[in-house]
Amino acid sequence: MESMISKETLQALIPQKAPFVMVDALYRFGENALTAGLTVTEGNIFTTEGKFTEPGIVEHMAQSVALYTGYQYYLKQEQAPTGYIGSIKEVSITRLPENGEKLVTTVSVLQEFMGITLVDIVTSINNEPIAKSQMKTVLAK
């Protein structure tokens, strides 16, 4: 699977900057969904002893949501507002990714209203779900 946009463009669409960038690919974008990715590397700040840690997975999920919003604004040729995580619930992580593995994360929008977005998120490796969550994000005014 190849990214729809360059890493440079992708990084311009999220507020995080290196070394805190936890998405490196945008695979699909639709009206109510996005699929993003990350290849786990030894140099990642959330990698310990060859494994990508739980906080890294949750941050990857959150940045995938940020990428959804950023790409929406990019398509409209507008500057994306900064967003914040309003809540995270139902986080389930069944295994930690190892160096070299590719995370593929699908964000499914359940509701969007007045700058608040509620999403379901599933992160997989080789089509095997390894993490699930539900997040609510809020755009800054």
Cα 99 to Cα 72: distance, rounded to the nearest angstrom: 31
Question: pLDDT tens-digit profile of 50-78?
Answer: 999 999 999 999 999 999 999 999 999 99
What's the predicted TM-score (pTM) here? 0.95
Question: pLDDT tens-digit profile of 22-54?
Answer: 999 999 999 999 999 999 999 999 999 999 999
Task: Please tell us whether the domain made up of 7-139 is placed in CATH 3.10.129.10.
Answer: yes
Residue 131 DSSP label: E
Give the start-end residues of each E strand in the chain.
25-30, 33-39, 47-48, 51-52, 83-93, 102-113, 116-125, 128-139
